[in-house]
Amino acid sequence: MSDTVYITKEGLEKLKKQLTELKEERRPAVAKRIKEAREMGDISENAEYDAARQEQAFIEGKISELEEVIKDAEVVEEGANGGDGVVRVGAKVTVHIEGEEETFHLVGAHEANPMENKISHESPLGASLMGKKVGDSFEVEAPIGKLIYKIKAVE
């Protein structure tokens, strides 16, 4: 059973590029390292062989994960709000909180990056934003206590 993964077009392209790099560059490079380590002789005490096998396992796991995410991806338009001002994945939302305004880009979990104000629709704040409109107020439980947000703009 697979779950839909919401992602922007830009985010999907980044994942596809990463997958291509893993398959076409890193996978062959680690295979070469394993081959060279085998040629050194006894692999039972060969640290290079063990390290290369561990890296190979990591790469194969990452390839499988990326393939699954890409397969289940549903591309959302950046700035998407359906024209009705309702907050959805892809929307940029400006909120008022404790005397300040801040704009967040609501994205899928795989694209979330708090340093760029890209928040997941699954995060506490993101989940609270979903379905709201300009003028709506809501509370979010934070480590410092409850914070009250008011939506100023949805684009």
- Tens of pLDDT, residue by residue over 80-133, are 555 677 888 888 999 998 889 999 999 988 889 989 999 999 999 999 999 999
Ranges in the chain annotated CATH 3.10.50.30: 77-154
According to DSSP, the residues that pair with 8 across neighbouring strands are 76
Domain 77-154 CATH (choose: 3.90.110.10, 3.40.50.300, 3.40.50.720, 3.10.50.30): 3.10.50.30
Residue 144 above 60 pLDDT? yes
Any idea which architecture 5-75 has in CATH? Orthogonal Bundle (1.10)
- Give residue 119's pLDDT: 93
Contacts of 46 (CB under 8 A, 6+ apart): 37, 40
Q: Which residue has the higher pLDDT, 30 or 41?
A: 30
Quote the pTM value: 0.72
Nearest to 117 by CA among 132, 105, 126: 105
Identify the residue whose tokens are 């001002």.
85
Residue 1 above 60 pLDDT? no
- Give residue 56's pLDDT: 96
